[in-house]
Structure 1
């Protein structure tokens, strides 16, 4: 599990609460049930309205993935692919039937298995690249749901503030209550802006980044599978795969 979202969002809220306390505020005054319900409830509902129910169900799983998912890198695939390439070059593709069982990457394992089964190289590449394309499309929609929520929530917060100010105007005859009512009205705007910039938009960006890393890993696997199937020299395979990695990952691979 990569701790970046927990650290970032948790520390972000801690700083906001700390700043509020330093200014003499009471954090409990920000936990008004009505503004919280309005901002979070309405934001999620209008985000659902912007897509399909399948998108909404996928967004729930994607939120969990954003917090608990690892940030995979492709560097650890290189040694596995090189080892398979060495065995395939020495003993042939069929000799990989036992070795592929020990591969922990499902995509790589599936591709090598198809190569062992005699799938045409061009057809195999097309199948694997289609899988990458489908994954990118699904991940894009999941990230879009939370990015959309981040766009809606500040405006929903303003709606809550306007509703609160209408309530203030209804109680002008009670000046002792105005301060509390006005403060409560602006809590909605606070939560609208905070939820967008501390929760929803970071979740969307996190999902985009995870997708980039996972798809990059899959693309490296595709090149490795093609090289294994072609019987390429393992040293050339290693150099080719390292050339596809970012600088730091290439040095570590």
Structure 2
């Protein structure tokens, strides 16, 4: 579980509602089902218009990744690659065929299979980089969905506020209700800003961070498998892969 995501959401909501309470605002004034329906429904509608259904469904599935980090970390990737290298050095590349059957990650599994098949290292890199590019584009889609929703939400909140003000202005004959009516109208704006800045945009940013982590690990897999195919020493392979864990090495590979 990603504790930072949980803490961030709790802090964000606590700051808004806690600040409102310190100002003496009754919490019931912030609970407006109509405003919530306008903001959430309108934001969802605008997002649905912007993206195809498969991308939207994938974004919903990827939402769990905001709270659940990848199961494997870079250290685990390095450990696995070194094990593959040691085994290949002892028993030959064909010995990795059994590993290809047990690896859960489809990207690594395909790479090992290509190594076992004896594909040319350059062709191996080209094939795996195509897979990497496809994975990157696929992952970017989910982040873009939440970022777009974060862009729509404040504007939909303003629409809700304007609708509320229209209702207030149509009842100007009862001056006693003007203040409360205007306050209710602006709750929609608060909902829009909260939805965008506490949920949607941070979710998109976290998914981009997750994608960056996974791309780094897959780049490490590519380099490791090519090194194994070239018969390089496991110790040298480990040093090469650990260079990815330094900021300088990561930035170099990202360019």
Same-fold call, TM cutoff 0.5: yes
Q: CA RMSD, aligned part only?
A: 2.1
Show the 5 A alignment for 1:108-127: 108-127=108-127
Query: For the Cα contact (< 8 Å) 2:243–2:249, is it kept in 1?
Result: no
Shift of residue 71, structure 1, vs aligned partner: 7.3
2:90 and 2:43 mapped to 1: Cα distance?
59
Pick which of 104-113 and 173-182 moved more.
104-113
Whether 1:156 and 2:156 are equivalent positions in the alignment is: yes
2:249 & 2:13 partners in 1: Cα distance? 32
In the alignment, is residue 27 of structure 1 matched against residue 24 of structure 2?
A: no
How many residue pairs match? The answer is 250
- Whether the 8 Å CA contact 1:2–1:71 is kept in 2: the answer is no
8 Å Cα contact 1:48-1:55 kept in structure 2: no
Which stretch has the larger CA shift, 58-67 or 188-197? 58-67
User: C-alpha distance in 2, partners of 1:81/1:58?
Assistant: 30
> What is residue 132 of structure 1 aligned with on the other side?
132
1:190-249 deviation digits (Å, cap 9, x = unpaired): 111111100110011011111000111000000001011111111111111111223599
- The equivalent residue for 1:44 is 44
Moved more, 195-204 or 53-62: 53-62
Per the TM alignment, residue 129 of structure 1 is displaced from its structure 2 partner at its CA by 1.0
User: Which deviates further from its counterpart, 154-163 or 114-123?
Assistant: 114-123
Matches within 5 A, 1:168-207: 168-207=168-207
* Structure 1 residues 83-110: Cα deviation after superposition (integer angstroms, max 9, x where no partner): 2212212321112234555555443233
What SS is found at the alignment partner of 1:244? Answer: helix
Instruction: Give, in angstroms, the shift of residue 117 of structure 1.
Output: 2.5
Alpha-carbon distance in 2 for matches of 1:26, 1:136: 46
TM-score scaled by structure 1?
Answer: 0.91
Equivalent in the alignment of 2:87: 87
Give every structure 1 segment of 4 or more consecutive aligned residues whose post-TM-superposition deviation is greater than 6 Å.
Answer: none
Shift of 1:81: 1.1
In structure 2, do the counterparts of structure 1 residues 19 and 248 end up closer, same or farther at CA, with 3 Å as the change threshold? farther
Alignment of 1:2-17 (within 5 A): 2-17=2-17
Rounded to whole Å, the distance in 2 between the matches of 1:96 and 1:72 is 20
The answer to whether the Cα contact below 8 Å between 2:2 and 2:66 also exists between their aligned partners in 1 is no
Unaligned ranges ≥5, structure 2: 251-255
Instruction: Provide structure 1 residue ranges, at least 5 long, that are not aligned to the other structure.
Output: none
TM-superposition CA deviations, 1:114-173 (whole Å, max 9, x none): 211323322222221111101111111111111111111111111111111111111111
Whether the 8 Å CA contact 1:84–1:96 is kept in 2: the answer is yes
2:253 corresponds to which residue? none
Matched, 1:166 2:171: no
TM score, norm. by length of structure 2: 0.90
